Amino acid sequence: MVCLALPDLGMEWSTRTDEATCFGVYHARAHQCFVSHGELEVAGVSYGGGILWRFSGADIFTNGFELSHHHVDVIDWNDNRYRIDLATGKGNTLAI
């Protein structure tokens, strides 16, 4: 992830949120952070670019991602479903 200053596009900060690929970056306004949907990890990132928490599952997160007000639901390659608390980064496996 990279944060650029406007209007000159000078780099404010950069941070690596996944060792492989970042599929998307989402704004979790209620928790005042960004959420990175990576191939190997889902991460909470502060507005200053610091990693707040990381969560990894049994396999790569390619089969689904949904951000809600208080949690993230992700599905890995094997259709394992996880719910990650945005405040803590703690995750639980969900029944299918």
What digits encode the pLDDT tens for the residues 2-50?
Answer: 999 999 999 999 999 999 999 999 999 999 999 999 999 999 999 999 9
Question: What local confidence, expressed as pLDDT, does residue 96 receive?
Answer: 61
Would you say 36 and 56 are in contact if contact means Cβ atoms under 8 Å apart?
A: no
DSSP code of residue 30: G
The 3-state DSSP class for residue 34 equals strand
Rounded-to-integer distance, Cα 88 and Cα 80, Å: 20
Question: What local confidence, expressed as pLDDT, does residue 11 receive?
Answer: 97
Cβ burial of 46 (10 Å; 0-12, 13-18, 19+) is: middle
Question: What confidence tens digit (pLDDT) does each residue in 38-94 have?
Answer: 999 999 999 999 999 999 999 999 999 999 999 999 999 999 999 999 999 999 988
CA triple 86-29-81, angle to 5 deg: 35
